[in-house]
Structure 1
Amino acid sequence: MEVQARSVDRSGASLFAMEFCMLVRLLCSFCLLFVTVRSASADDSLDATILEMRLNEVLDAHPTAKRTTVTLKVVDLESGETLYDRGGDRLQVPASNLKIYTSACALDTFGPDHRFQTIVRADGPIENGVLRGDLKLIGGGDAMLTSKDLQKLAKRVVDELGIRQIIGGVVVDNSRYAPRLKGPGWMWDDEPSYYNMSVTPLMVDFNVLTVKLTPDAEGFVYAKLEPPSNYPELVSVGADAAAGNELATRRPYTEPIEYRGDRKLDKPTELRMTMHDPGPWVAGMLTQMLAEAGVNFSPPSRKAVADAEGGVAARELVHVGPTLAETLKHFNHVSENAVGEVLLHEIALARGVERPDWPEGAKAISKWLVEQAKLEPGSFRYVDGSGLSRYNLISADSSVRLLQYLKQSDDFEPFFQSLPTSEVKLDEATLAGASDQSPAPRVSAKGGSMSSVSTMSGYLRTLDGRLLAFSLLANGFIGNNEPVFDLRQQVWRELVRYRR
């Protein structure tokens, strides 16, 4: 009996010890959970360790990241600390995210106050209001020139040069660049979409024209160009000859615009499209504008040409475009491809290349990115100025390095102001505890998108007022961008709560 009693006592002690250990473990788990929740929720801030954990959870759980190549890098710009890096060195197609690379090099090359110019030159003597020779329009790299600017130039030709008659014609001089009109790797079936414009040193309305389709009394379509020009030709076609089912289109690498004259419309419709060679279109447009301003045109005779060759020095008018800072704001906010491609050529010219083509511009900018911005060779492949080419490649690491460089440069303010802004969707409780409650948008970043590509790189301001540089790149998904946008918001909601 005594032995049995001792055995029972030992069993009871063992059971008590087990229960005590379980209680201690539960208390420890509760304390750890309390500390974690307090760090992540009570003051709504995340330190670097918890931020990394939370971002891992977001990327591991989101459906988009399961089938899509998603890379993310985040750096605290004040401390220089890398807060997160998932696949930061992996190369991805950037789409328009490449525009920040072009913007950075352009600012360093020209400065934010630089303005590009367009010249109108009277190539012949002007006597009693008669120009014996051609009126030449010379492209100088102002990608922001509009048809309204051209109309003002036509008026200045009359008012300032005193021209009432031209024995000659209007000539567009695009000799500043090599004659190639399209960039490497541009998709042929993007023609004639407005974003796939031909690139020349003289750009008017980004080399995109407007076709106005108007129904007649019976509802059938007739077409005209707006503003008017005698080029390109407008051709009415029926269903049997049409290139697809569009109301109006242009076959790739051809000039005539075909419209469906057999189709009926309820109301006028405007379509924007590119033309293959913009030079004749601009010349026709300026000719029409000059005629409306009261200028008459006569074909030159042999005698008139001889007189022009012995005449006085040519007279010029200069149109000055907006500052580079203003141009870049349009470039990045609207994501205007034409601006980037013109800047690529102008950067090559500034480095001594005559009549540059895309390879020379890409080489000049790539060299600057490595030597000046200190990007790692092999961390990017720069091919065109806008990101339209699928040959372009960047990494989250190269983008963040560039953003870090810009933060320390004299060009940071104009670059930062050129970036589009986005809101981070936060609940009121999170905002209530923020030390930085500025109404300014928390994200200033450039996005990019094309089929299977959605990217964004830029700056994010935390609730604690710290500035982070981030790059979130997604390639290889099917469908629209909405799932990637949702992933982006989830990442931002974690980043804004970072506190050092």
Structure 2
Amino acid sequence: MKIKLILLISLFCSTVLPQKLENELRHKLDSLLSEPFFAYTIPAVDIYDLTDNVNLYSGNNKLLLRPASITKLFTATAALLFQEDFKFSTEFHAHGVFEDSVFKGDIFIKCSGDPLLSENELSEFIDEIKNRGVKSIEGNIHADVTSFDTSRWGKGWMWDDDPYSYAPYVSAFNLNGNTVSVIVEKSNGNISSRSLPESRHIRIIGNLMFDESGVNIIEPGRYSHNDTIIIKLNGSINSGFTVDTINVSVDNPDKFSLSRFIELLETRGITFRGNAGFDKHENCDKKFFEIARPIDTVLTRMLKESDNLCAEAVLKAISSCCNEPPYKTGKGIELIDSLMSLIGTNKEEYRIVDGSGLSFYNLINTETVSKLWRYLFYNEPGIFVRIYNMLPIAGYDGTLKHKMTKPELKRRFRGKTGTLSGVSNLSGFVRDGNNHLLAVTVFFQNFIDNRKEALNYQEKIIELLLKFTGQK
């Protein structure tokens, strides 16, 4: 009888104690989210114990809010579910003959929208033809950009995000992130500016004023004239100004990328005599050189650095799994719709219109993000691990490099950030005091000029979870 009583008491305690601890966690989170900051700010939270398959906390988790770059988690998952072996490829096809130091014929650049293509990689192809002794090209150079449609900006993107580099134009022939950097420097009282890359197709107009009592503000404007990108710098600087870098998007990436390729040929000592333009390339049996990039490389950049060009290019490109070119954002969205069905989310519970989350049309709730993590953890562990390893690590790299830097937080959380005006979101993973893996999604929205405070509250939530010891 005594043994039965002891077992009964033990069973009772093992049930009540975890409940008490979980109630304590809920109470602490409720108290935190009732502080004055949230009188004007919407909090939405979903915390799920993946180890025990149980929800620990939910608050406003069905409320539709702007996901911002949390959208990239769905883009990445759709890519790995439906096109896990996809690679971005830039192919160079040579149709002609090599005669002494001259290549007589046409060169086709077949583009697939690689968002990480760089000038250094284009130079690798140039090195290949230089190694053959080529000093001039007598023929034409064509770029085949028909793999993507002509829609180059996302739905619901803000007009005044143009021409900043975080709102890039996407094309089949991307180069250097479709971005031009302008370095502004002051030396001996004089202001100078230069572009990276340096190019005859870039012109900078300075219109900066000295304002000793003001702050340093440089705002770029951009427009194109014929083959030239004209960047106008407006704003004011004070005597304390030394140097600044302004990154500006390229509004016609296909054209600019092809122009830069011709320039690179010339700067590396290869004369080009012919025409450059755009044409569809059907004869693919003359591939001379290829730059190939696995999708994991692009997804890692997309998630670690929250790269918007990567996200938009991926969303178009992965629709190649079940569509003919040109590949379109809308077809990629259909794959995200299929993903939503798999995780048990209805059409009435979300709206996604781009791959990056830059659109203000996007709506989602924290419960759906939690469903995504649960689906991957229990049904697609291989994909879960791949995405988990791509996420930024607190206080260490990516968009979390300068966040959660306190010793008790550093490297103990990894996840995706989501930032827009009045939006600070976070979704990722932390291990609690029992080494349980918790999926944490926190949306804070509709605040004004309080981003630092929003981040501070997110850190407090992570600290609470690190110390939490629930069921063992």
Instruction: Give me the whole-angstrom Cα distance separating, in 2, the residues matched to 1:406 and 1:140.
Output: 28
Partner of 2:262: 287
Partner of 1:455: 425
Q: Does 1:77 align with 2:46?
A: no
Q: How is 1:221-300 mapped onto 2 (pairs within 5 angstroms)?
A: 221=192, 223-231=193-201, 233-234=202-203, 236=205, 249-251=220-222, 256-259=229-232, 270-299=245-274
Q: Does 1:55 align with 2:29?
A: yes
Task: After TM superposition, give the deviation of residue 195 of structure 1 in Å.
Answer: 0.5
Deviations, residues 364-405 of structure 1 (Å, cap 9, x unaligned)? 2222221x3333332221111111111111110000000111
1:89–1:162 Cα change, 3 Å: farther
Of 94, 114, 118, the match for 2:67? 94
Instruction: Give me the whole-angstrom Cα distance separating, in 1, the residues matched to 2:344 and 2:292.
Output: 34
Contact 2:208-2:235 within 8 A present in 1 as well: yes
Task: After TM superposition, give the deviation of residue 485 of structure 1 in Å.
Answer: 1.2
SS in 2 for 1:116: strand
Of 322, 327, 335, the match for 2:298? 327
Partner of 1:414: 386
Between 1:205-214 and 1:338-347, the stretch displaced more is: 205-214
Contact 1:70-1:474 within 8 A present in 2 as well: yes
Instruction: Give me the whole-angstrom Cα distance separating, in 1, the residues matched to 2:51 and 2:205.
Output: 62
Contact 2:194-2:204 within 8 A present in 1 as well: no
Instruction: Give me the whole-angstrom Cα distance separating, in 1, the residues matched to 2:119 and 2:217.
Output: 26
Partner of 1:18: none
SS in 2 for 1:422: coil
1:138–1:247 Cα change, 3 Å: farther
Structure 1 counterpart of 2:246, one-letter code: L
Runs of 5+ consecutive residues of structure 1 not aligned to the other structure: 1-34, 301-308, 432-438
1:455–1:133 Cα change, 3 Å: same
Of 98, 108, 115, the match for 1:143? 115
Instruction: Give me the whole-angstrom Cα distance separating, in 2, the residues matched to 1:402 and 1:373.
Output: 6
1:353–1:87 Cα change, 3 Å: farther
Contact 1:51-1:498 within 8 A present in 2 as well: no
Of 440, 456, 463, the match for 1:470? 440
Task: After TM superposition, give the deviation of residue 227 of structure 1 in Å.
Answer: 2.5
SS in 2 for 1:137: strand
Task: After TM superposition, give the deviation of residue 325 of structure 1 in Å.
Answer: 2.6
Deviations, residues 325-359 of structure 1 (Å, cap 9, x unaligned)? 33222211111111100110012122214212222
Contact 2:301-2:307 within 8 A present in 1 as well: yes
Partner of 2:190: 219
Task: After TM superposition, give the deviation of residue 261 of structure 1 in Å.
Answer: 11
Corresponding pairs, count: 432
SS in 2 for 1:121: strand
1:120–1:250 Cα change, 3 Å: farther
Of 319, 328, 337, the match for 1:366? 337
Instruction: Give me the whole-angstrom Cα distance separating, in 2, the residues matched to 1:483 and 1:340.
Output: 28
Task: After TM superposition, give the deviation of residue 217 of structure 1 in Å.
Answer: 8.6
Contact 1:88-1:397 within 8 A present in 2 as well: yes
Q: How is 1:2-41 mapped onto 2 (pairs within 5 angstroms)?
A: none
Runs of 5+ consecutive residues of structure 2 not aligned to the other structure: 1-12, 210-215, 276-280, 396-402
1:176–1:407 Cα change, 3 Å: same
Instruction: Give me the whole-angstrom Cα distance separating, in 1, the residues matched to 2:299 and 2:235.
Output: 43
Task: After TM superposition, give the deviation of residue 246 of structure 1 in Å.
Answer: 7.0
Task: After TM superposition, give the deviation of residue 128 of structure 1 in Å.
Answer: 3.3
Partner of 2:310: 339
Instruction: Give me the whole-angstrom Cα distance separating, in 1, the residues matched to 2:245 and 2:450.
Output: 26
SS in 2 for 1:364: helix
1:289–1:248 Cα change, 3 Å: farther
Instruction: Give me the whole-angstrom Cα distance separating, in 1, the residues matched to 2:265 and 2:320.
Output: 32
Deviations, residues 85-117 of structure 1 (Å, cap 9, x unaligned)? 111111110111111111111112232x64321
Q: Does 1:175 align with 2:146?
A: yes
Contact 1:353-1:360 within 8 A present in 2 as well: no
Sequence identity, in percent? Answer: 23
Contact 1:123-1:315 within 8 A present in 2 as well: no
Contact 2:112-2:148 within 8 A present in 1 as well: no
1:485–1:46 Cα change, 3 Å: farther
Task: After TM superposition, give the deviation of residue 427 of structure 1 in Å.
Answer: 10
Structure 2 counterpart of 1:115, one-letter code: K
